[in-house]
Structures are given as C-alpha cells and as structure tokens.
C-alpha cells in the first residue's frame, strides 16, 4: 500500500483528499496542515508521494518543494502540486523546483487517484 502525504492548510480540502485517496485508492494518507509540519512528516514518514498546496500561510508550497528537493532524505519523493494557482508561470515555477506534476483545483475527488498514480514510483 502506497503512502501519500498531503500538505494542505484547508481542513475541508484535507478531508476531501484524505477520503478520496483512502477509499477510492486504498492509500495510506498522512496529513500536514502547513509547510514546516509537512517537512517533518516527509522526513519521518518517507511517503511514496507528496500532494502539496502552493498557497499556505507562512511557508508556501514553493518553499516547501524547494526544501524537500534540497534535503537528501526527501529529494527523491515525487511532489505533485494540487493548488488553485494555475497561471503558466506558477506551473513552470513548481516544475522548475522539482515537482513531478501540477494539478489544479477544483479537482474531481473521484478521479484524483487516477491523476496521481502516474507519479507514484512504478506508475504509468
């Protein structure tokens, strides 16, 4: 069973993603409410994939991605942004920082599993 770390500050979206991935995908889901908590959980939990919001107070998702990719303990974990920031420059920035993918909100919870599977190790 793959483990997905969700770094998202909105509790409602956290729960929606959690339910979607647990019930439609059978994934183990770890939750973090902000960047610093996400960095700790990524290093400790070694998830198979990280879903990351870009807009968070304090440390935004781009800073989190930069930190994840510069840490030898977390640099190989695929990061996929899941965010409302959908301008081409924002997408390019996320990918430039090392993200494996970039998904935008709103998203279909019933299709989220299918959308992230290609980014998991051994995915399509």
- Residue 77: phi and psi, rounded to 5, are -75, 125
The model carries a pTM of: 0.94
Dist. CA 72–CA 43, nearest whole Å: 9
Q: Give residue 1's pLDDT.
A: 84
Q: Which parts of the chain have pLDDT scores under 70?
A: 123-124
Q: Give the chain's domains with CATH numbers.
A: 3-117 (3.40.50.2300)
Q: So what's the pLDDT on residue 86? A: 86
- Rounded to whole angstroms, the Cα distance separating 44 from 1 reads 17
Report the number of secondary-structure helices (H) and strands (E) in the chain: 5, 5
């Amino acid at each position: 069973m793959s483990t997905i770390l969700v770094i998202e500050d909105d509790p409602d979206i956290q729960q929606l993603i959690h339910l979607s991935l647990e019930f439609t995908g059978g994934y183990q889901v770890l939750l973090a409410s902000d960047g610093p908590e996400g960095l700790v959980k990524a290093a400790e939990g070694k998830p198979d994939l990280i879903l990351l919001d870009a807009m968070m107070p304090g440390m935004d998702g781009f800073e989190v991605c930069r930190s994840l990719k510069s840490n030898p303990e977390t640099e190989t974990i695929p990061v996929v942004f899941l965010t409302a920031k959908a301008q081409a420059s924002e997408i390019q920035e996320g990918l430039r920082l090392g993200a494996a993918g970039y998904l935008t909100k709103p998203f279909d919870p019933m299709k989220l599993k299918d959308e992230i599977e290609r980014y998991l190790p051994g995915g399509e």
